[in-house]
Each structure stands twice: as C-alpha cells, then as structure tokens.
Amino acid sequence: MRINMTLIAAIILLFVILPASAQDGNLVNIGLQARVDYQREYLDGDAVKDNCGFKGKNVSILINGEFNEHFSYNYRQRLYRGHGSESFFNATDFLYLTYRPDEHWSFSGGKQIVEIGGYEYDLAPIDIYFLSEYCSNITCYQMGVNAGYSFDGGKDMLRIQFCQSPFRQENSDMYAYNLMWNGSHGCFDSIWSLNMIEYIPGKFINYLALGNHFTFGKLTVFADFMNRSLVDNMSFLRDFTVIGKVAYSFNERLNLFGKASYDRNDLDEGGDWCVMPGTSMGRIGCGVEYFPLADRRIRLHATLCHTFGDNGNRAGALLADQQIASVGLTWRMSLLKR
C-alpha cells in the first residue's frame, strides 16, 4: 500500500509545481475512482462465505492530457492490487502515448487495451457487475503499438494493433495481431474486430468479434457475438459467445437493465484458454442504477444474476446453479486539472 500512496503523492506534487508556462494545451487531468459493494454469492443454495460481505471492488487513479495538438497520453493504475512479486505494470491497465499528425491518422504505443470487439469486453473494470465466461477470463491489457485511421467525418475508425498475447503467462514471446472497426451511424454503433492471437508458441486462435449497439430514445440495446476458431482446424459456431443487454433510462438519474450471456465450446481439442472444451454455460441477470447527482459522478446500484449449465473449466468463473446479488456505491472525483 505504501507504494500506492507514494505514487499518488508524487504525481500530484509533480503537476502542482509545474509552471503555467510549461503548458501548451490541456496538460494534465487527474481523477480518482472507487467502488465498494455488499454482495452475496450462493452455489447450489449454499452461501459462499469467502465471497459474501463488503468488498472493495475498485480504487483507480486516472491521468490524461495533451502536450500539444499532436501528442497526448492516457494512464490508469489500479491501486487495490498488491505488487509484491508481480511487476508494477500488472496493476497498470493502460499507459500509452498517442501521436496525431492530422485529423485522420493516429499512432500510439505503450500498455493498451487489446483491440477485441464487443461492448461487454469494452466495459471499464469499475462498471462491471457480472460477465460472460469469456470476458471473465481474458487478460485484456497488454504492451503493444497501434495505428488508426478516422474517416467519414469521424464516424468511422479503423485500427490495426500488434501487441503481446493475452495468453503469454507461460511464454512471454507470444503476440496478437488485431484489426478493429469502430463505427457511429445514427442509432447504430459498432465495435467489430478480427483477431489472430498466439495461444502457444507458433499456434493461433482466430476471433471474429461483432459488437453492436442500438439507441432508441431512452432504450438502448447491445448485442455481442464472438466466434473463436483454431487456425489449424477452422470451425464456425462450435466455440462462441453471445451476449445481449437491454437498458431503459427513465430519466437522467435512473436506469434499469437486463442482461444475458451464453458461452459454448464443443471443440475436440484445447486452445481456447478462456472458454474450455465441454462448456455450455448461460447467465442471466438484471439490475438498477441510480445517480444522485446530475453529472453522474456518484452511482448506486443493485444487481442479481443466475448462472446455469456446464463449465469445462473446473476453475472457471461461472459455475452451475450460482447466484450473485450485489448492492454498491461508485464515485468518481476530479483531483487536478492544469
């Protein structure tokens, strides 16, 4: 914990003493966000004591800014993760520098979000209530570089990325090659990707991930589909995940939502380390969010989810006849703007 407090103090002191003359644009914004829940988990009707009670879900510091019209940076550090024997970067979600030579092109490098399509996958950790088996197991922040091109008046963005493989725990010299399209066209938004990810040295798994978001007044819907296939033995609809969420905003302060996911893998061989062979797992849930302030910096929530089916991974995140109920408080604070 000492390293976390030292980090916060050093960052704030650094930017407080920066002279105004050093600024050319919005140099730094520092924010802090936190979330605390009270939750209950039941498995086969019995309480899971280790996962019941008050839980600190997230404490993170966010820093971003612009050096000038071409260079910007983004940084998010989770302060609740112990460092100990692990690398300091294990608790760093992202830390990257972006260069924009013009209104179309952008280039960035550092620790980044692995460019995989889907709206559930795109959620920040502090906004996660319950996930599919796939998203529960993917390691989504890795070191890498990417290039992006914006067109159609900024409504579309194509990005290519070369980064470390999310499955590099046993071998660090493995990589992922990702192509992503972000679109925004009226009531329809998209996060689509095509991915080639090394899961063991020299062996790749392919993702086709299609995230679709629709807005109809106060009603929003997202539908995610991901097909996963081993490159050496291509297949379709044998290893996949589908996710859907419907949300209704009664006003600026009150949201109600329902969500469902289904993960399936009936492949005869391993290679998908997120959804194991033999998995047929569903999860359904609902929740309510209330924002006491108009700027939504404070959020109260209550959620409930139920899981059913079979998980081919005995150590998986989703288990048959599992119920999780949660009520919690999230707040976001602006600490400094220079």
* pLDDT tens column, 54-91: 999 999 999 999 999 999 999 999 997 655 545 677 88
- Assess whether pLDDT exceeds 70 at residue 9: no
Taking the CA atoms of residue 56, residue 57, residue 61 and residue 65 in that order, the dihedral angle to the nearest 10 degrees is -160
pTM of the model: 0.91
- Assess whether pLDDT exceeds 70 at residue 16: no
Q: What is 283-294 written as a DSSP string?
A: EEEEEEEE-SST
pLDDT at residue number 251: 96
Which residues lie closer than 8 Å to 276 by C-beta, 6 or more apart? 265, 270, 311, 312, 313, 316
pLDDT at residue number 20: 45
pLDDT at residue number 85: 47
The answer to whether the beta carbons of residues 147 and 177 sit under 8 Å apart is: no
Strand, helix or coil for residue 137: helix
pLDDT at residue number 4: 55
Cα(22)–Cα(265) distance, rounded to whole angstroms? 55
The label of the residue with tokens 């797992």 reads 281
Q: What is the pLDDT confidence band of residue 185, given thresholds at 50, 70 and 90? A: very high
* pLDDT tens column, 301-338: 999 999 999 999 999 999 999 999 999 999 999 999 88
H helices of 109-174, in order, are 133-137
* pLDDT tens column, 136-154: 999 999 999 999 999 999 9
Share of the chain above pLDDT 90, in %: 86
CATH number (domain holding residue 56): 2.40.160.10
Question: Range of 332's domain?
Answer: 2-337
Q: What is 10-74 written as a DSSP string?
A: HHHHHHHSS-GGG-SS---EEEEEEEEEEEEEEETTEE-GGG-EEEEEEEEEEEEEESSSSEEEE
Q: What is 138-155 written as a DSSP string?
A: ---EEEEEEEEEEETTTT
Q: What is the pLDDT confidence band of residue 22, given thresholds at 50, 70 and 90? A: very low
Q: How many residues does the chain have?
A: 338
Characterize the bridge pairing of strands 279-290 and 175-185: unpaired
Q: What is the pLDDT confidence band of residue 13, given thresholds at 50, 70 and 90? A: low
CA dist list (Å): 208 to 142, 226, 230: 19, 6, 12
pLDDT at residue number 6: 52
Q: What is the pLDDT confidence band of residue 163, given thresholds at 50, 70 and 90? A: very high
- Assess whether pLDDT exceeds 60 at residue 23: no
Cα(13)–Cα(7) distance, rounded to whole angstroms? 10
Q: How many domains in the chain?
A: 1
* pLDDT tens column, 187-210: 999 999 999 999 999 999 999 999
Specify the DSSP class assigned to residue 217: T
User: Between these two residues, 21 and 304, which has the higher pLDDT value?
Assistant: 304
User: Between these two residues, 23 and 75, which has the higher pLDDT value?
Assistant: 75
**φ and ψ of 201, to 5 deg:** -55, 120
Average pLDDT, integer, range 231-240? 95
* pLDDT tens column, 100-110: 999 999 999 99
